[in-house]
Amino acid sequence: MPWTEIARLQYRRDGLRFASDVTDAEWELIEPFVPAPSPIGRPRTTELRVRGGPLV
């Protein structure tokens, strides 16, 4: 399926720092699957959206 002009606008990555960064709309879909922080051990110091974006 070739890219149409509508699809190109919908999937643009211009406003992101890296091509692998996650948009707000994408994060809303991913966030429910991210595990909650563990009640034991060291607390999280980084935002999982920043760390996990390239893994998706």
* Chain position carrying tokens 């959206």: 49
Identify the pLDDT of residue 55. 58
pLDDT of 2: 81
What is the distance between the alpha carbons of residues 48 and 6, in angstroms, rounded to a whole number?
31
Q: What is the largest CA-CA distance in the chain?
A: 50
The CA-to-CA distance between both ends of the chain, in Å, stands at 23
pLDDT 10s digits, 1-56: 688 988 888 888 777 777 778 888 888 888 888 888 889 999 888 777 776 555 55
Q: Which of 20, 30, 16 is nearest to 54 (CA)?
A: 20
- Is residue 34 within 8 Å of residue 52, measured between CB atoms? yes
